[in-house]
Amino acid sequence: MSTQQGREGEPKGKRTATDPARSGMFLRPPLATKRKPSPRSRSRRLGVWLFGAYGGLATTTVVGARAIAKGLAAPQGLTTETDIARDIPWRPFDKLVFGGHEIRAGDYPSAAAEIHRKNGTLPLELLQPLRRDLLAQSRNVQPGVLPNAGATIARLADRRTPKRSLRRQIEQIAHDLQQFQTRHRLERVVCVNLTSTEPALRLGPAHRSRAAFERALDRNQEGIVRPSALYAYAAATSGMPFVHFTPSNSALTPALEEVFADSGAPFMGCDGKTGETLVKSALAPMFRYRNLKVLTWQGYNILGDRDGHVLADQENKRSKVESKDALLPAILGYPLHTHVGIDYVPSLHDLKTAWDFVHFEGFLGYKMALQFIWQGCDAILAAPLVLDLIRFADLAAARGESGPMPHLACFFKQPFGVDEHDLHRQWHMLGEYLDRVRSEA
């Protein structure tokens, strides 16, 4: 299979699996062959492939991007439209072409209409002028794969998924990606995983190296993968940048990290930091700055929608809870009592409510408390991040950067290979990277 770099005439040389991000927070630049993104390349089209194409977040992302491209909406919520990101040749939104994989039948206009009915976040005045455009993007959506996805996700599927070997499923995904790129004459394709949160996969020897993983694929051992692993593998072997926005742990294992290193494609994850965890990572450093000892941080989330329904399954929920719970001891530097609860409340739809109770100790051991309530619409918070991440992944690929993108840590609950969870320090990492890009331009 020819890689994307091959088609664009970019270098295809192998790179080592060494992860520059594992060394800590103030990071060396990612492994890179720096190239100045040419103004001409900005005028060419970028493909965006969304795994989980008709989900709430994917649909809001596509509608939002088309609305911004047509001047029907402002880019509110996008970091790449703020001062920190000035003078960077970001891909204009009217150059994005969307496609994806999905396990449910449908199209963008009907997925958007459902969101309008339930949440009111996508107003009809916006959807009507975009209808034809959205139907055109829907024609790029292909049936997804479901190996070892768990019962709750499998029940969502209303598209027939033929029984095929793992190798055959990977070939099909890669074929769909290549077809999309060729048919629309796209300069490059950025892949984003927005599928439902999968049950945590027990990782073993097959995930420790590429060679072991390849052998397990050859033996068709379904138990070693979930759908996200096949999507990540297909993106990596196609040399396409990959953004892992979900907490599913099968996608960025050491074996897959090696596959990305071999193909030279940039990648980053895991699990977008959009709501309660974002607030936690901004507030927890305050206690550290003032030497206030946090004794307990208790968080309780209620949400509806398909995402909430999937998270009502204990196995799927475990992936999310681990992702939301890990950052506090890392920021504060000591163990504390924490708890994250997540409950499904259908009537809330996408309006997630989080109540956090923080019990802390001050001067003379006196105990005090902070409480906050966060009411955010999940997809409205997350869609601009997805658009930012698409632009960052595109920029990294244009600059010839490969491997993880540690400067994007502030966008993730579990930033791949980065131990720093303090939002303020992560923000500086992003600023330092963008300064470097500007100085090299």
* Measured distance CA(45)–CA(250) in Å, rounded: 30
* 137 touches ligand NAD by CB under 6 A: no
- Give how far Cα 381 sits from Cα of 60, 110, 278, 359, Å: 10, 21, 11, 27
* 153 touches ligand NAD by CB under 6 A: yes
Which span sits near ligand NAD by CB under 6 A: 51-59, 74-82, 133-141, 427-435? 51-59
* Measured distance CA(153)–CA(92) in Å, rounded: 35
Candidates 274, 281, 402, 414; binder of ligand NAD (CB under 6 A) is 274
Q: Which is nearer to ligand NAD, 3 or 228 (CB)?
A: 228
Q: Rounded to 5, what percent of the chain is helix, strand, coil?
A: 50, 15, 35
For residue 142, the minimal CB distance to ligand NAD (Å) is 9
Q: Which is nearer to ligand NAD, 187 or 307 (CB)?
A: 307
Q: Which of residues 216-255 bind ligand NAD (CB under 6 A)?
A: 227, 245-246
Whose CA is closest to 278, among 372, 157, 174? 372
Whose CA is closest to 317, among 137, 197, 148? 197
Candidates 4, 5, 137, 196; binder of ligand NAD (CB under 6 A) is 196
Q: Which is nearer to ligand NAD, 275 or 403 (CB)?
A: 275
Q: Which of residues 343-402 bind ligand NAD (CB under 6 A)?
A: 378-379, 381-382
Q: Which of residues 13-32 bind ligand NAD (CB under 6 A)?
A: none
- Give how far Cα 345 sits from Cα of 42, 308, 321, 348, Å: 44, 8, 17, 6
Candidates 3, 137, 152, 195; binder of ligand NAD (CB under 6 A) is 195
* 192 touches ligand NAD by CB under 6 A: no
Beta bridge partner(s), residue 32: 401
Q: Which is nearer to ligand NAD, 27 or 410 (CB)?
A: 410
Do the beta carbons of residue 269 and residue 413 sit within 8 Å?
no
Do the beta carbons of residue 207 and residue 232 sit within 8 Å?
no
3-state secondary structure of 28: coil
Footprint on this chain of ligand NAD (rule: CB under 6 A)? 51-52, 54-58, 101-104, 144-146, 149, 153, 156, 194-197, 227, 245-246, 271-272, 274-275, 305-307, 310, 378-379, 381-382
